[in-house]
């Protein structure tokens, strides 16, 4: 399979304190990868560095085999933050999805066509006139993901996409992640709720004190996760699925 995203020897420090130390991994096209570890292990910082919101002290980030500048990564990679309200910008679902397209200076007819495509794709047509701020957590995350994907990225980074969601909303988001994989999107997901999504993932990365201590198949990751402070119920891998 093609390596869509490659991180090579990534390092990052703040005030002399090392946050990430020589981290390397790659993601295959059309897969879901879980990035897990204790709080403070550097998970969210990896997403910011990949996206281009922070500058690493060392290392390279490649997309399709080519090293990319932060500006290029801002365009090619989408990031959904943990706090969904931060990414709500429109007064209606429809306007929220079209907002990024307008910033890209797309033509009016193109914006209308793409917005309608993603309203249909994410089953949001019945909500298109609603203010996204009053929707359920799961519906709101669907709107945000639809909006960032409408701008055309192939790689999607998600920081704690299940945070503060009730059971129906968790299932909504998990089903959406599976659909995105089926569409050929490449997903990297940070979550401290690994047990809820582990069975849906192809690859797991375990981070400890800024270093990568496991990179491999999710089905073989249960022991490394447990040994590094990530709670996993004592169940067979396939029984962990919430879908």
**Residue whose structure tokens are 């910033």:** 103
- pLDDT number for residue 2: 67
Rounded to two decimals, the pTM is 0.92
pLDDT score recorded for residue 69: 92
Residues in the chain with pLDDT values less than 50: none
- Give one DSSP letter per residue of 31-50, joined into a string: -EEEEE-STTSSHHHHHHHH
The DSSP string of 93-114 is HHHHHHHHHHHTT--HHHHHHH
53-68 tens-digit pLDDT? 999 999 999 999 999 9
Closest-CA residue to 118 (of 29, 52, 180, 166): 180
Paired strand residues for 17: 14
Q: How far lies 231's CA from each of 198, 200, 204, 221, in Å?
A: 11, 17, 14, 12
CA distances, 55 to each of 43, 49, 74, 104 (Å):
15, 6, 12, 24
CA distance 113 to 107: 10
The predicted structure's pLDDT at residue 64: 93
């Amino acid at each position: 399979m093609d390596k869509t995203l490659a991180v090579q020897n990534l390092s990052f420090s703040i005030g002399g304190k090392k946050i990430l130390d020589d981290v390397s991994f790659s993601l295959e096209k059309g897969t879901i990868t879980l990035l897990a570890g204790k709080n403070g292990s550097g998970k969210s910082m990896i997403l910011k560095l990949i996206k281009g919101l922070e500058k690493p002290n060392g290392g390279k980030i490649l997309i399709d085999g080519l090293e990319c500048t932060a500006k290029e990564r801002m365009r090619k990679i989408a990031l959904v933050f943990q706090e969904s309200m931060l990414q709500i910008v429109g007064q209606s679902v429809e306007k929220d999805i079209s907002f990024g397209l307008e910033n890209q200076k797309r033509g009016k007819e193109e914006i209308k066509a793409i917005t309608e495509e993603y309203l249909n794709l994410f089953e949001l047509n019945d909500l298109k006139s609603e203010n996204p701020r009053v929707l359920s957590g799961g519906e709101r995350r669907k709107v945000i993901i639809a909006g960032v994907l409408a701008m055309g990225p192939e790689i999607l980074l998600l920081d704690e996409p299940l945070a503060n969601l009730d059971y129906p909303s968790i299932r909504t988001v998990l089903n959406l992640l599976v659909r995105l994989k089926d569409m050929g999107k490449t997903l990297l997901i940070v979550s401290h709720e690994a047990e809820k999504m582990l069975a849906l993932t192809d690859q797991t990365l375990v981070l400890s004190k800024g270093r990568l201590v496991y990179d491999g198949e999710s089905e073989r990751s249960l022991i490394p996760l447990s040994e590094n402070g990530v709670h996993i119920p004592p169940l067979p891998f396939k029984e962990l699925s919430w879908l």
